[in-house]
Every structure is written in structure tokens, then in C-alpha cells.
Structure 1
Amino acid sequence: MPTCYGKLKTALQMRPQKAVTKCLLCEQLTVFSMGFGAVIGVLVALNNVNVGCQLDMHVVLSQIKRPVAPAIGMFCQFIFMPLISYGSSTLLLQNPVTRLGLFTIGSCPGGIYSNFYTLLFEGDLDLSVTMTFMSSVGALALMPLWMHTLGRRIAGTATPAVPFSNLIVSLVALTLPLGAGPPHPIQAAKNGLKWPRKIVKPFSVAILLVALVIGTYSYWYIVTLITLMDVVAASVVVVAGVFYFGATMAWLFSTHK
């Protein structure tokens, strides 16, 4: 672990503050960590092309025009999740830095990996991609809203920065590769593109395993900063926000599909 992270951990434990003024993290960029990020980015982009070949763009467009299910997901993602993460961090965490971190995670949009899990577990891939797209677009406005309201209650007079560049890059990384696929999976089969369907699941599993194993190794220094209460607070968000509230909303507003 780089020395600066050891010093940061000691400082956070010994000098908890009532307001976040400035938190400086110095990351030791190595060839390995930079190469890992580049390789994962390329693999995810390639697999998104495979995922795009499985989509029915007519269904995706119809869901965007009549976004009933995406609206339910957006409500859970950008209303309940930020509130439960704010409550959990305020009640269970003492350090303002970790409070802000958990609240920020709860205010983030859904990730691209969710599409891979939906594909592997044979869920509604068209709906998953639609919700990921709309979540990424909505985050451009809703994430700054939360950062300038409840985020400032944690950070004090400072205004937490919103990573607009990362949000835009994620949106582009989602739409361009997915758009490279044919507009209908039947058309892909007629054009002789049967191999994407055969390799998309094994490729998705490989990407998830590589991201988990190598990613954990590359960013192990973050694990050393995590305390037991950090795990408890995050678990409350996952159990209450994802499993309990998400499952309840899915049951209440379930469609006929």
C-alpha cells in the first residue's frame, strides 16, 4: 500500500472533523493499474457490441417513449437510494469523509455491469439497457441536485464536485457500442451474426471475474481504509434500498410480463 494511504487512514481515524474541507488522495499510478483500466474498458466496449446484437431496438425505443418501468427504476435510484444512503451514513458513520462517500455512491446512476448480470440471469435485457441509459442521462441533473442539497449538509460550506466527465464518458461508452449492433436480433441471425449470441455469456462471465479479482488486487489500498461500521452502513443501504424497497416496488408495480 502506498505510504500516503497509510497516512490518510491514520489522519481520518485520529482527527474526525465536523465538516469536510478538503480530502486529498494521492494515487500511485503504476503500469499495472493503468493497463488494467485500459484492458477492462476495451473488453467492456467489445462485450457491449455483443449485447447490442441481442437487443430489439424497437422494444427499447417503445420503452423510452412510454417509460413506465424505467420511471419506477429512476424513482428507486434517484429518490430512495440517496435518502437511505444519507440516513445510513448520518446515523452510523462518524467521519464526514466516509459519510460523503457513501452518500455519493447512493446518488450514482446504475452501471454497465448490471446489463451483464441481467443477460446471465436471463432477465429483460431490453429493459435493463433502457434503464441504464435513462439512469445515466438522469444522473447529469439529479446527481448535482443531491450534491448541492444533502451533500452540502455533510460537506459543510464546501460543495462536493460532480464528476460530469466520468458521467459523460460512461454514457458514451454505453450507447456507442450498443448502437453498433443490428436493430433486431433476428436481423443479426439473418446476416450470419450468430457468434455474438454464443460468446456473449462466457465473455460476460470472464469480464466480471477479471474485474473482481484483478480490480480487488489493484485497489487493495481502498480495502485497508474500510472499517466495520463502513461495512454495516453500506449493508443497510444494500439490504434496505436494493432488496427490500426495490423488491417491494417491483411487486407493487409489477407488469404482466
Structure 2
Amino acid sequence: MLPVDEIRLNFNPASLVVLNIVLGFLMFGIALDTRVADFKRVLRMPVAMAVGIAAQFVVLPAVTYALTLALNPGPSIALGMILVACCPPGNVSNILTHRAQGNVALSVSMTAISNALAIVLMPLNFAFWAGMHPTASALFRSIALDPIEMAGHIVVIIGIPFVLGIACAEKLPRITEKVRKPARILSFLCLIGFIVGAVAGNWRYFLDYVGLVLLAVAIHDALAFGTGYVCARATGLSDYDRRAVSIEVGIRNAGLGLVLIFSFFGGLGGMAVVAGVWGFWDIIAGLALASWWGRRPPVKPAGVDT
């Protein structure tokens, strides 16, 4: 069995084009749930928003970096963990926050702001943490990733669909209301389908190497949810807000990670296996956490409807 850092998972160019389209549609679906008012709402809860954004783009990548040093996985696995940590959340976080009886308005606003910021911050964040990693940096440099090219790719599959979705939601509210839920469900199912397809098309590799990443992914995912919760609690946010922040930080868009891995890293083994396993594990863990919270009504701050 080849070392995981030496394998390349197969994903033909035509399928990659379709996956890019599906991910763009997913971003469009997220934007249909977004209004300009969501960005204005940030002004009414600046502390909670600042905590959530900092937890996602500063604390989680740093925690992930420390975890890769502690676990000392293969370089490509470490790169995969860092890349996933730098991904923005998806709209499944809004669904899970609702199920957890958390602050959905905060969750939706964080998703909108995070996806907008990720266009610039994601490639810079990844290049920073990957470039300074003691074992993965050499592999990262050998790939010669151009952060500007990666940012341009993110603009196409996140930025443009996101802007179009918001414009549609603002200018065509009646049509948006009719297609919003079906579009969200369809795009999510398509994304899951492509993750399944990526795994199925490389089933032998996943069987061979899943044991190398499963424990790391489980620990990493738990730390991601925990990072959001601890940051929210440490800054004095209410239980109602803590649930939203925890889920927003814990849920990462592994589908975007897979697109970038196949587009810029040639399906590099450890990275692709981490993103593929994360895509399933993250949803299972998120559902379990949201269901547990859902059976325990939160203590809401004064002025919030119960």
C-alpha cells in the first residue's frame, strides 16, 4: 500500500466541472436565505458576530494547527485538516441551529458574513498555516499553490452565486419564497451525492486509508464545535447565542474543500480522504449535538421571544 502522501484520487475533469456548478448552486441556495438586512443585523449584535467570526477565521485554524502538531499525521492529512478548518460554513448550520433552539438570526448572519469573508480570508489563512507547518510545508510548497488563483476560483463558485442569490431574494421575493426551500434541499442532496461519488469512485483508497484519518477527523470536529462554544462562553454570550456560534464554527463546507483539493492539489490522497470523511462525520456529529440541545430549551436573553 502506497503512503497516503503519494496517492492521487481519481476525479475526471467533466465531473469536476459539474461539482463546481453544484457547489455554485449550493451557494446560490444559501444566498436565497440571505437578505441585505442580515448584514445590517450585524450592527445590532456586534459582539456575538465578532466572536463568531474570530472563532472561525482565527481560533479554529490555530487550534487545528496545534492538533496536527499533537497528532503528527502525514503531511497531506495535516494539509487536509488545515484546509477544512479554513472553509466557511454551509447553510446546514442554519438548519442545525434551528434544531438546537439556538439563535437562528445570528446563525444566518454569520453564514452570510463568513462566506463573503472566505473569498479573501480562506486562501490567505490556508497559505499562512500550511506554509509554517513543520512537516506539511514542504509538500505545500511543492504544489506551488497561488493564493490569488485560488481566491479567483472561490469568487467564481462562492462570490458570484452568492451575490446573484441575494439579488434574487431582494428583487424577486415571491419567486424566491417558492424556490428557496426546494433549491436548498436539492443543492444539498446534490452535494452529498457528489461526495458519495468521490468516495465511491475511489473506494479502495478510502478503505485503505480511512483508518488513518477517522480518529483525527472525529477529534478535529469535536474541537471545532468546542472552539465555538468556548469562545462564546468566554466572552459572556448567552446560551441562546452560544449554540449558534458553536454550530457555525463546527460545521465546515467540506464540499468546497473537495472542489479545491481536486482543482489545485490533484486529488492529493490525505487531503481528499480527510475532506470526504469530514463531509459525512460533520453532519452526523452536528445532528447529534443539535438534537441533544433541542431537548434542552436555552436560557434566552431578555427581550428575545421564547
TM-score, normalization: structure 1? 0.68
Q: 1:218, 1:26 → 2: CA distance? A: 8
Which secondary structure does the structure 1 equivalent of 2:3 belong to?
A: helix
Residue in structure 2 matched with residue 127 of structure 1 by the alignment = 106
**Structure of greater Rg:** 1
Which structure 2 residue ranges, 5 or more long, are not aligned? Answer: 242-300
| Matched AA of 1:29 | N
- Cα displacement string for residues 17-76 of structure 1 (whole angstroms, at most 9, x for unaligned residues): xxxxxx784744165x24742662464365346424xx4x33532415863322111121
CA distance 1:126–1:182, change in 2 (3 Å):
farther
Q: Decide whether aligned partners of structure 1 residues 111 and 134 sit closer, same or farther in structure 2, where only a CA change above 3 A counts.
A: same
Q: 1:208 maps to which residue?
A: 188
Q: 1:101 to 1:49 in 2, by over 3 A?
A: closer
- The Cα shift of 1:144 comes to 1.7
Instruction: Indicate whether 1:11 and 2:2 are aligned.
Output: yes
Q: Which residue does 1:6 correspond to in 2? A: none
Whole-Å separation in 1 of the counterparts to 2:198 and 2:73: 28
- In structure 2, the residue matched to 1:102 is 81
* Cα pair 1:112 1:174 within 8 Å, conserved: no
- Aligned ranges for residues 41-60 of structure 1 at < 5 Å? 41=23, 43-44=25-26, 47-48=29-30, 50-52=32-34, 55=35, 57-60=36-39
- Runs of 5+ consecutive residues of structure 1 not aligned to the other structure: 1-9, 17-22
Worse-superposed segment, 97-106 or 66-75:
66-75
1:253 aligns with 2:237: yes
The yes-or-no answer on 1:155 pairing with 2:136 is yes
Hey, which of these two has a bigger chunk of helix by percent? 2
Equivalent in 218, 223, 227 of residue 210 of structure 2: 227
* Percentage identity across paired residues of the two chains: 18
Aligned residues: 227
Contact 1:64 1:130 in 2 (8 A): no
Gap change, CA 1:106 and 1:59, over 3 Å in 2? closer
Equivalent residue, structure 1, for 2:42: 63
Whether 1:164 and 2:190 are equivalent positions in the alignment is: no
The change in CA–CA distance for 1:103 and 1:247 in structure 2 (over 3 A counts) is same
Q: Which amino acid aligns with 1:37?
A: L
Indicate conservation of the 8 Å contact 1:40/1:207, yes or no.
Answer: yes
Match of 1:178 among 162, 166, 174: 166
Shifted more, 221-230 versus 111-120: the winner is 111-120
Residue type of the partner of 2:127?
Answer: M
Distance 1:207 1:198 in 2: 15
1:182 deviates by 2.4
Deviation of residue 122 (structure 1)? Answer: 7.8
Which residue in 2 is equivalent to 1:82? 61
How large is the RMSD of aligned CA atoms in angstroms?
3.6
Q: Does structure 2 retain, via aligned residues, the 8 Å contact 1:74–1:135?
A: yes
